[in-house]
Amino acid sequence: MNPLPQSSPRASETSDSEEVDQPDSAHAQPPRETMLRHLALAFVGRWHWIALCLILGVLGASYHVEKTPKRYTATTTLLIKERTAPVMSRDQVDEINLSSQEAMNTVVAQIRRVTLLERVASRQDVRALTGVVPPPVDWVPACLRGKLGNFAATAVATSPPPVITGGMLGGWLGVAVRRGTRLLDISVTHQVPEVAKALADAVACEYLAEIGNSNTKGRSKVILLLEGETKEARAKYHTVAQIANVTAHPILGAIPEIKLHHLAVAEKHFRKRHPGQLANLHESWEKRVVFRSGTASTSYAEMYRSLRASVSRLGDESKRKITLFSSALPGEGKSLTSANFAAAAAGQGRKTLHIDMDLRKPAVHKIFGLSREQEHGGITECLANLAPFEEVTRRPSASPRRAGSSPV
């Protein structure tokens, strides 16, 4: 009895599995090239629809370009400078370091603030502009306007509130920093070129006014307070004795306001009495310096001589060689008074050195008709050890020492 072969069932099973795994040719997918060919034939068969869509698109774009109003851009350029605080005003130090790009971006954000734009919209010159609010665009064709009704756009007759105008200005405004510079371009885009220019200038002016007010706000309050007290004192006190009684301090001298026509009359009489003796040495001096030929004998000069005598009687002059002239407010006569006092002291034969210590706005060199520029510099260079004291001192009698040519 012969045994059956064991491999035949496996062979049949393998044959059956191979028959099951073969794909059906009836459900085979078409190749990609065939699909692309059918798609191209479909497009070619409907070419008129494609051409119609292209024509309508071109016509629509042309109509939109024709109906869209023209826009004009006006640009105002600002130069942002890095400022330092004054010597005596530490509260005015800028909190932003303007040497960085972040600081310039901060300035851009400050200009685009809503509050600033509303102030621009509130300006009288801006509200008086015609056509600030542009009219809406009339998209209805002229041939259909009669059938569909009158849809013509009308301009706004009255200016809207500043809140609305400021919001619209924010959409028209553009602020950009030029790379590598401190130049700031403020541009406004509008349908009316005059309005665009006026708005750009108004934004720049309003920002400059804002930073100007912020820098001088504290100082202005102090000056206004002092000016008010000065006016009140002038209205209250009329004699030197009243001031001495109230302040309990000695009054060294009372210098009246120098009238130029009085000095002119004195010079005229001097020329008549001494023809040809009017020296030309002091022609460049300020007219209110009374120690000049022709005016040294006036009552004004005598007042300064009295002041010199009062100061000399304050004590031992060997221990008190410096006299300081100061005041609470600018423009009260410190420079002129010190110049006349120095001339009076020099006229008495004393060695006098007149130093202008106003390092911010020196004025003594103007009083004596001198140039601020000098070869060896001024008191600033001397204090900074850039020049010796002997080289920055003027030797002629009654000549002043200017403040200097370079900043501290």
Q: How confident is the model at residue 199, as a pLDDT?
A: 92
> Average pLDDT, stretch 136-141?
69
| pLDDT higher than threshold 90 for residue 186 | yes
- Contacts for 55 with CB less than 8 Å, ≥ 6 apart: none
Instruction: Confirm whether 408 is domain-assigned.
Output: no
Same domain for 111 and 195, yes or no, is: yes
- pLDDT band, very low/low/confident/very high, at 187 (cuts 50, 70, 90): very high
Domain of residue 162, residue span: 68-219
Q: How confident is the model at residue 203, as a pLDDT?
A: 92
The most confident of 45-54, 137-146, 149-158, by mean pLDDT: 45-54
Instruction: Confirm whether 25 is domain-assigned.
Output: no
Instruction: Confirm whether 233 is domain-assigned.
Output: no
- Strands 354-355 and 400-401, bridge-based pairing: parallel
List, for residues 322-359, the tens digit of each pLDDT value: 889 888 777 888 889 998 998 888 888 888 888 888 88
Angle between helices 114-122 and 162-172 (to 10 degrees): 120
Cβ–Cβ under 8 Å, residues 300 and 263: yes
Same domain for 299 and 160, yes or no, is: no
> Which amino acid is located at 5 in the chain?
P
CATH assignment of the domain containing 305: 3.40.50.300
Instruction: Confirm whether 34 is domain-assigned.
Output: no
Instruction: Confirm whether 241 is domain-assigned.
Output: no
CA distances from 196 to 2, 30, 176, 192, 370 (A): 112, 64, 17, 6, 48
CA atoms within 13 A on the CB side of 237: 15
SS (H, E, C) 68-133: CCCCEEEEEEEECCCCCCCCCCHHHCCCCCCCCHHHHHHHHHHHCCHHHHHHHHHCHHHHCCCCCC
Q: How confident is the model at residue 252, as a pLDDT?
A: 85
Q: How far apart are the C-alpha atoms of 40 and 34, rounded to whole Å?
A: 10
Pick from 199-208, 231-240, 273-282: least confident: 273-282
Same domain for 215 and 257, yes or no, is: no
Our count of domains for the chain comes to 2
Same domain for 190 and 265, yes or no, is: no
Pick from 16-30, 203-217, 232-246: least confident: 16-30
CA atoms within 13 A on the CB side of 5: 6
